Chain A
Amino acid sequence: MDRVLKRRLKERFGDVLTGPIRQRHDETEMRIAARDVQDVMRALHDDPTFDFRFLSDLAGVDTGSHMQAVYHLWSATTADWLRVVADDLDRARPRVPSVTFLWKGAEWMEREAYDMFGIVFEGNRDLRRIYMPPDYESFPLRKDFYLADDAARSPGAGVRHMEQSHAPHNATADALVRKTNA
């Protein structure tokens, strides 16, 4: 745990943080709102005292009540992984600014998060399905993803899955996401 990093982050980004900075093992976690992602990332990347030049990972998360986009950064200035969580994305219309202007390599990771969660990364030039077929309609890693529904429409109809007990998926939300992306 890098206490100094926590203090520095609080000083620099105190006004945009939406939650307390948490630290556990070798990870430091800060939460920001989706609209601040680009500014915070640019500051973390460009500021020589932070110097977070490596984007280690970009993940989408569905907490069940809202969506998150989670970034993991590495810097030589600290012994911790920095986790930046863009919090509280609307489940019906999850939108977050893209970080491809800093890391072009984030493009496919954002595509994957879009493919799996329907999170729309504004500014990504190539935000289309990456794993699932182009005419696929739902987002498989969402917590309300109802596999049986898809299975009925797919060639493998009749495949049963343990997830049948979950809630059926929210068709209106998906339709909204598609409309916003089109």
Chain B
Amino acid sequence: MTTDTRRPSADDPRVLLDEEIGVYEQIPPYPPRTEREAEFYTLGDGQMFINMGPQHPSTHGVLRVVLKLDGEKVVDIDPVLGYLHRGVEKLCENADYHQAICYTDPLEYISSLFCEWSPVIAFEKLLDVEVPRRAEYIRVLSAELNRIASHALFMGWFALDLGGLTPILWSFIERDEIVEMLAALTGQRMLFNYFRIGGVNGDLNHEFMSRLGFWMSRATQQIESNLTLLNENELFVRRARGLGTIDSATALRMCMTGPNLRATGLPFDVRRAHPYSIYPELDFDIPTRTEGDVLARYLLRMDEIKQSLRIIDQCLHQMPDGPIMARLPRLLRPRPGRAYAAIEGPRGQYSTYAISDGTDQPFRMRIHDPSFIHLQSVGLLMPGNLVADTMAVMASLDPIMGGVDK
């Protein structure tokens, strides 16, 4: 009697393969290399793995999540990244300082202006450039508009992940109007590439101002009416309340920033904590909530929209005249040195750490993205919840896979 050493193919069990098992074909996919991996890929009694993504209707891009389930209950979760990895940091090291900015643009394609902003500030620090005040005002104005667009879209996505079909289309009304406005200002709808080292690309124009004026006159009312779709919905509130709760000490340990941290009651906002640009001169509040659950994160973002409207209003009233670009040479060769710049984006703290070696290309450019940081806390928030809430919790952290995968 001979033993058949061939094994059935994973694609078709009737086909027998005689090559040895490759690194991808084992389940778990490869021998565990770390303590954590060994722990995760060991199944307990009655548990099973389920693979969510990278092709799944609601993973916000190409995220793959391996869930360890006990029935419908999530026991453990292992996000697998890298499906959208483009090596932006490497690309930036091979581009000159102007080109590097447009590589950072598509990181978080929902809020591109913030992705441009932190490298721009870092490069300005390397070059010791003073940015004209009008340019700073324009930056704040356009970035806060982008923040509203991002939060409006968050509301729709979040509702979609909870099974509501309508809010996403309603929220796209606001977003589309803002995006059209910014397109009039920057020439692009999505990847604006508007901020330049030392200023901005173009001055405010008539179309932008007229659209902005018209939109501002009804924005508050419009957003309020959109919010009534969800805020007063019993089904929605019951699902979101008490789900994915995190306290402020744990949030700090997880390095969370932005709305996710403020929803736990800690008023940390880079705009106030470590002011940049003209934010010290502006009057706005930092909304916080103490619950730290999914509902608090959602409501907090909706509160932030109102604060952003206040900031835009002040920018429009205080906008000075003057140049929009500092006088700089075409080819930038900063002195060797290191610079770090952090800004407060719609998802948290975006920061850039740039090292110059005296050439016209950054020697090292480190991009820190809040989506990346927040996504890892899913592993902390999920265990004990149901499969149905995986996407709700994930959506409430609001990660954008472009930023997570860099």
A56 touching B34 by the CB < 8 A rule? no
Residues of A within 8 A of B85 (CB): 131-132
Q: How many residues of B contact A (CB 8 A)?
A: 47
Residues of A within 8 A of B274 (CB): 26, 74, 79, 81
Residues of B within 8 A of A131 (CB): 81-82, 85, 405-406
Report the minimum CB–CB distance from B259 to chain A (whole Å).
16
Kindly supply a per-residue 1/0 record for chain B positions 340-375, scoring 1 wherever the CB is within 8 Å of any chain A CB and 0 otherwise: 101000000101010100000000101010001101
B255 touching A141 by the CB < 8 A rule? no
A105 touching B376 by the CB < 8 A rule? yes
* Among B23, B253, B273, B366, contact of A59 (Cβ-Cβ < 8 Å): B366
How far, in angstroms, from A125 to B35 measured CA to CA in the complex? 6
* Among B35, B81, B255, contact of A126 (Cβ-Cβ < 8 Å): B35
A135 touching B30 by the CB < 8 A rule? yes
Report the minimum CB–CB distance from B178 to chain A (whole Å).
29
B36 contacts the other chain (Cβ, under 8 Å)?
Answer: yes
B253 touching A105 by the CB < 8 A rule? yes
Kindly supply a per-residue 1/0 record for chain B positions 270-294, scoring 1 wherever the CB is within 8 Å of any chain A CB and 0 otherwise: 0001100000000000000000000
Residues of A within 8 A of B23 (CB): 134-135
Report the minimum CB–CB distance from B46 to chain A (whole Å).
25
A72 touching B340 by the CB < 8 A rule? yes
Kindly supply a per-residue 1/0 record for chain A positions 22-39, scoring 1 wherever the CB is within 8 Å of any chain B CB and 0 otherwise: 001111010000000000
B90 contacts the other chain (Cβ, under 8 Å)?
Answer: yes
B273 touching A74 by the CB < 8 A rule? yes
Kindly supply a per-residue 1/0 record for chain B positions 73-96, scoring 1 wherever the CB is within 8 Å of any chain A CB and 0 otherwise: 000000001100101011001100
Residues of B within 8 A of A116 (CB): 89
How far, in angstroms, from A126 to B39 measured CA to CA in the complex? 10
Contacts A57-B351, A72-B340, A74-B273 known; A134 to B255 CB distance under 8 Å? no
Kindly supply a per-residue 1/0 record for chain B positions 6-47, scoring 1 wherever the CB is within 8 Å of any chain A CB and 0 otherwise: 000000000000000001100001100111110000000000
Residues 109-162 (chain A) with a chain B CB within 8 angstroms: 109, 112, 116, 125-135, 140-141, 162
What is the chain B residue whose CB lies nearest that of A60? Answer: B366
A72 touching B81 by the CB < 8 A rule? no
